[in-house]
Structure 1
Amino acid sequence: MQIFSTFEYSSYIELAVSELERKGIKKEDIFIVPLNTRTEARRILDSLHRADGVSLIDLGMSLATAFSVIGASIGFKLSWGPIYWGIISAFIGFILGLGIKLFMFKVIKKKQRLLRGKHSEVILIVDCNAMDAEVVEQTLWKNLALGVSKVRADRL
């Protein structure tokens, strides 16, 4: 049976490994893999085939609609008429909404992403008997694993 777990990079990994060795798991059956973290910044604009669920134009479209209605209403009293003023105010509303959304994504959300929760940086794989699986799992949880999963070797 193989047990996979993820950890933050800390001394708890070493504590977990030494505790597993004390409980009879051989060093050859413990495999540790460090993960490479993202070094480049995330892309702002999505492509046709990749989307991250963040929309930059939703607020812009909403403000464009609201501004165009207001601009068209006021345009009846202005010299160019309601159609031109509706289009001009829709463009202004869209640019304003896009600017607000870009500011929120680049400044505010970036700080939240940096400060938010824990990130798994190391994967620990333990190859053990089915009888030892529960002990290994409890040891990993006790040493602050972020996630633990068991895979039976006969089903691979």
Structure 2
Amino acid sequence: MYIIASFDYSPSLEIALTELMENEIPQNNILALPLDKMTESPRLFDSIHYADGTSLVDLAGILGCIFMLLGSIYGFVLEWGPIIWALIGLVVGFITGFFIKWIYIKAKYKRSFSKSKTEVFVIIYTREDNKVHKIKEILWQHNALGLTVYQGHNT
């Protein structure tokens, strides 16, 4: 029988593993597997095969329209006329919105992944049914994120 639990890597995980060994669970029946954290930066541009729902052009389009409107309004009193100033406003607004969103996404990525801890999966093998409840109790006491019992076949 396998008891599988997930933990954030913390001192409580180490205490749980020590307590399991003190309760007559052999060390070779306990397997702790840390997961790797994502280290690559997110893709800024979506492709046909990958889309994460984050768009860089939404704010750029909004600011482009606003600046274009302002350029066409004030273009009537400026020297080059409303059409040229509307196009200048469109380009300036689009570039401004694009870079604001790009900086926001970079900061959000850095903030979210700097806080994340490494997750660890702990797999405990036991043949004794009477120890399962005690093992589960120890794991829950030491802040397990999730836990399941798998009654696999014996090979």
Say if 1:137 and 1:148, in contact at 8 Å, map to a contact too. Answer: no
1:27-42 equivalent positions in 2, closer than 5 A: 27-42=27-42
Distance 1:40 1:154, change over 3 A: closer
Cα offset for 1:111? 4.7
Identify unmatched segments of 5+ residues in structure 2: none
Which secondary structure state, in structure 2, belongs to the residue aligned with residue 125 of structure 1?
Answer: strand
1:65-84 equivalent positions in 2, closer than 5 A: 65-84=65-84
What number of residue pairs does the alignment pair up?
152
Residues 84-113 of structure 1 show CA distances to partners (whole Å, capped at 9, x for unaligned) of: 33222111101011111122223x324522
1:37-52 equivalent positions in 2, closer than 5 A: 37-52=37-52
Distance 1:76 1:38, change over 3 A: same
Distance 1:136 1:119, change over 3 A: same
Distance 1:80 1:51, change over 3 A: same
Instruction: Tell me the residue number matched to 2:146.
Output: 148
Matched, 1:134 2:143: no
Cα distance in 1 for residues equivalent to 2:6 and 2:28: 19
Task: Find 1:119's aligned residue among 81, 93, 117.
Answer: 117
Residues 108-148 of structure 1 show CA distances to partners (whole Å, capped at 9, x for unaligned) of: 324522553x4233211123455543332221122233x12
Distance 1:51 1:133, change over 3 A: farther
Which secondary structure state, in structure 1, belongs to the residue aligned with residue 36 of structure 2?
Answer: coil
Give the aligned CA root-mean-square deviation in angstroms: 2.7
Residues 28-86 of structure 1 show CA distances to partners (whole Å, capped at 9, x for unaligned) of: 33111122223333332232222233222221111111111222222334454433332
Which secondary structure state, in structure 1, belongs to the residue aligned with residue 17 of structure 2?
Answer: helix
Identity of aligned residues (%): 36
Amino acid at match of 1:58: D
Amino acid at match of 2:112: R
Cα distance in 1 for residues equivalent to 2:17 and 2:64: 58
Cα distance in 2 for residues equivalent to 1:66 and 1:131: 69
Identify unmatched segments of 5+ residues in structure 1: none
Q: Please, what TM-score do these two structures have when normalized by structure 2?
A: 0.77
Cα distance in 2 for residues equivalent to 1:130 and 1:85: 79
Amino acid at match of 2:76: F
